[in-house]
Structure 1
Amino acid sequence: MKNYHFIAIGGAVMHNLALALVRKGYQVSGSDDEIYEPSRTRLENAGILPHEYGWFPEKITSDLDGIILGMHARIDNPELIRAQELGVPVFSFPEFIYNQSRDKKRVVIAGSHGKTSITSIILHVLKDQKVDFDYLVGAQIEGFDLMVRLSDAPVIIIEGDEYLTSPIDRTPKFFHYKHDIALVSGIAWDHFNVFPDFEDYKAQFSQLMDKTAENGELIYCEADPLVKSAAENSSTLGQKTPYKAHPAEIRNGKTFLKTGTGLLEIGIFGDHNLQNLQGAMEICQALGVSKEQFYHSIPSFKGAAKRQEILASSKNGILFRDFAHAPSKLKATVNAVKNQFPERRLISVQELHTYSSLNQEFLPNYAESMDAADTAVIYLNPHAVALKKLKLMDQATLREGFKRADLILFTESQALKEYLNSQNYTNTNLLLMSSGNYDNLDLEPLKAKFNSNEA
């Protein structure tokens, strides 16, 4: 029986990997300085929730088969230091995934935006077509109880993140998977705290493309000029396959794919999602799934969690939640909702939550990203700004950065709640975008307004 210890077990992907290893029959332990829901309950139900928070070097013994080190841990973590002293192998998350899948065909989905959606579509279609596969995805997906699966399947689908690997490895995660097939969906500056220079950020994707083996395949979105340029200039000798948005049309707020046999209604919308869908189709075809099989499975796909997710709806209004936080994601999501429902008023609410979004130097990248919204609202928490040791931006600064003179700013969750609950949502869509939760904003009153036909 293999025996692994997780340093920072409470993270979204880390705790899912821990649960996947328990399911595989491995012995698992872990530590963390804080664990939130749903990680806490899921670890507890599996019998591997740490008895107390903190770091305990005595947990690290020489009989461990390895340490799995989370990005949340610091380089001076006492358990990490103890493991290094004992010579216990230390794996980053992506290194461990590679070691578990070195004999599989490895498919890596990368890009500044769209990678979770593309991965989710692929997983949905493969499952519907009864293809055996392993996976790693960055969100909870309907029909999958874990975000990680490791078995003896011949293929693994991996959502590849460009963020740093671990405290002791400052290279992007996606380098470590050593892909057979790579897809790059888009390049738009993100992770300003790690890549303060855009040229350096773009270079990470070029390096990923160059790592495609001669017998491998690089699938890339030619609708993104930065991706197109990087792919066309890549030194890889592998096959290059460009794609763009799947042809479609909108009728009465519904999107239909144009196929060789007629129109096909789907449950997702927006130009970026049509690009994501086409990219997913290219991957599925590379894995032996035909277009006909793809078209058979895609109508039942309703989207990944927090990606244009419908929380509540009425006959003339929808409450959406979306993970969008980077400028490109924000603009794509706002435009998609407005284009899908052009006759409805759109109120868009964006929480500035990440280091990049709260940094005034990065702010110009948000210019015109909320132009399609009829009402644009920004929420930020002064405490979150202080924790990141950044300057709190005022409404005038944000209006200049977003190039939106009527932008509304809230810095208290209660004030935002009162504002949203006071709105008339007749013939109106409300789009909530954040990688956070607006400081635990209670969404139930808003859901009730939409579900009770007050919208």
Structure 2
Amino acid sequence: MRVHFIAIGGSIMHNLAIALAQKGFIVSGSDDHIYEPSRTNLAREGLLPKPGWYPEHITPDIDAVVIGMHAKADNPELLKAQEIGIKIYSYPEFIYEQTREKVRVVIGGSHGKTTITSIIMHVLKSIGRDFDYLVGAKLDEFQYMVRLTKDAPIAIIEGDEYLASPIDQRPKFHLYKPNIALISGIAWDHVNAFPTFEKYVDQFRLFIKHIEPKGTLVYNKEDKKLQEIVLEDQSKINKHGYRTPEYTINKGVTYIHTAAGDIPLQVFGRHNLSNIAAAFTVCDWLGVSREAFYNAIRNFRGASRRLEYVASDDDSVVYQDFAHTPSKLKASIHALKEQFPNKELVAIVELHTYSSLSEAYLSEYKDTMQEAEYPAVFINQEALKQKNAEAITTDTLKKAFNQPDLIYFNNITSIGEYLSQMDPEGKNLLLMSSGNYGGVNLVNYADKFLVKPAKGQA
């Protein structure tokens, strides 16, 4: 089968292209800009295209076109494919087509999707189960973010609620038709696509209705809105709720309490413990024994950029996190304060998505940084220009966050200067963003915070 990818450089798109090539498909692609790590990954597999759009490359011998969100509806290759009648898929549609004969486990929710998916993958790998997968971050244990095979009986899929493609405005997770579905919680996100909270909640109601007949819904019983829509749903499916397990923190190590005894973890934070409970419930439905799950979870180090360790010295530690929505931001700050209760916290969040840069949405951030002794917000001015967003003032941010001591950085240099001048003793640093802080390596930030010149040196 020959498949062409329009906007092949996307995070999932290029991983899907590689997975299909490894499965034996003939794969081609195009994009106007391809950044790292997509460029290196595609080049390694012989799939890196020449930059640009080339409608003359769209020929009738192509069996399918997969289009990514980076492309526009008037993309010349897309128009050519439509003209000659080639079947066009969004990537979630194509993932479904490749997994329709498998048990599809789809992990949805406003937060924790990547971590829950990665825990399930870690556990299944540890016990030797064969499975396909799609996960939204690069995991240390897995070379790529997508795997598709002929024989694996299970597919573990991270189900994003954002729109499927420029010509398909359905949320991605509606297209996977899960046999087992999980919802971790509901907190308003993607306001450019879902301008009200209720419209956003409706997407989860529909997600439940897309579960296959006699399938299973696993859900977070501690989320009141989620509990409400689960109770009102009349679908003929199994419903299994979970709760955060009891735990203690002793000498910097978090232990979950189980019938098999206390299990030490390498991750921390109440939200991560909730993620572990979610993954445990899914694994239980997949036939994984409790003993096997607990043995595997001891060695789980977390997903990339999810409360990920960056650097430390004898007194302070630096973490990075993907947090950008209000609920994620608050949970990540709380996790650091709970784990290190005797340390002050310097917390810097980059706001750069359409949602977080919307002044109408900013009020959702109220009180999310109250636990941080040194709260700060960074907004890259280039991001504002690219999204045609209006300038945001310091007073606007302080009011929205309800944080009079909030610091506002509007250029990348000022963050480095701030951290260089700060005494790290008795403090930890948390850097949060779903972007990349203007392309700066976070290790450089960690060094500016932790490493100070000796007295008498410049």
How many Å apart are 1:318 and its aligned residue? 1.2
Q: In the TM superposition, what are the counterparts of 1:226-305 in structure 2 within 5 Å?
A: 226-305=225-304
Q: How does 1:350-365 map to 2 (within 5 A)?
A: 350-365=349-364
Structure 1 residue 398: deviation in Å? Answer: 0.2
The SS at the match of 2:439 is coil
Q: After TM superposition, give the deviation of residue 453 of structure 1 in Å.
A: 10
The two structures have a TM-score, normalised by structure 2, of 0.96
Residue deviations 1:353-398, cap 9 Å, x none?
A: 1011111000000000111111101001222112211111111110
Aligned to 2:183: 184
> What aligned pairs does 1:92-111 form with structure 2 within 5 A after superposition?
92-111=90-109
Aligned with 1:333: secondary structure?
helix
State whether residues 133 and 153 of structure 1, in contact with CA within 8 Å, keep that contact through their aligned partners in structure 2: yes
Counterpart of 2:73, as a letter, is: I
In structure 1, stretches of 5+ residues that fail to align are none
- Structure 2 Cα separation of the partners of residues 319 and 237 of structure 1: 47
Query: Deviation of residue 451 (structure 1)?
Result: 7.2
Q: How many pairs align?
A: 452
Higher deviation after alignment, 8-17 or 254-263: 254-263
Work out whether residues 137 and 145 of structure 2, in 8 Å CA contact, stay in contact via their aligned partners in 1.
yes
Q: Which of 138, 141, 149 is residue 140 of structure 1 equivalent to?
A: 138
Per-residue deviation, 1:226: 1.0
Whether 2:67 is the aligned partner of 1:77: answer no
The residue aligned with 1:424 is 423
Aligned equivalents of 1:84 and 1:356: distance in 2? 32
Moved more, 122-131 or 211-220: 211-220
The separation in 1 between residues aligned to 2:422 and 2:440, in whole angstroms, is 16
1:428 deviation in Å? 1.4
The equivalent of 2:308 in structure 1 is: 309
Contact 2:311 2:318 in 1 (8 A): yes
Cα drift, residue 41 of structure 1: 1.1
Q: CA deviation at 1:44?
A: 1.0
Q: Is the 8 A contact 1:94 1:174 kept in 2?
A: yes
The one-letter code sitting in structure 2 at the alignment partner of 1:395 is T
**Which residue of the partner structure matches residue 333 of structure 2?**
334
Deviation at 1:142, TM superposition (A): 1.2
Contact 1:356 1:362 in 2 (8 A): yes
1:159 has 2:155 as partner? no
Change (3 A) 1:169 1:279: same
Tell me if the contact between 1:314 and 1:450 (Cα under 8 Å) persists in the aligned partners. no
Counterpart in 2 of 1:44?
43
Indicate conservation of the 8 Å contact 1:68/1:92, yes or no.
Answer: yes
- Can you list the C-alpha shifts for 1:213-250, whole angstroms capped at 9, x where unaligned? 34110100011111111111112111110001122111
Tell me, in whole angstroms, the C-alpha distance in 2 between the residues paired with 1:101 and 1:453. Answer: 53
The one-letter code of the counterpart of 1:203 is: D
In 1: Cα distance, 2:213 partner to 2:368 partner: 39
1:4 touches 1:64 (CA, 8 Å); kept in 2? yes
CA apart distance, 1:8: 0.2
Q: Match of 1:375?
A: 374
Give deviations 1:269-292, integer Å, cap 9, x for gaps: 111111110000000010010111
* Pair 420,159 (structure 1): closer, same or farther in 2 beyond 3 Å: same
Identity across the alignment (%): 49
Which 10-residue stretch deviates more, 95-104 or 40-49? 40-49
> Contact 2:7/2:32 (CA < 8 Å) preserved in 1?
yes
In the alignment, structure 2 segments of 5+ residues that lack a partner are 454-458
Q: How does 1:162-241 map to 2 (within 5 A)?
A: 162-241=161-240
The one-letter code matched in structure 2 to 1:377 is A
- Alpha-carbon distance in 2 for matches of 1:450, 1:318: 10
SS at match of 1:144: coil
Distance 2:448 2:164 in 1: 43
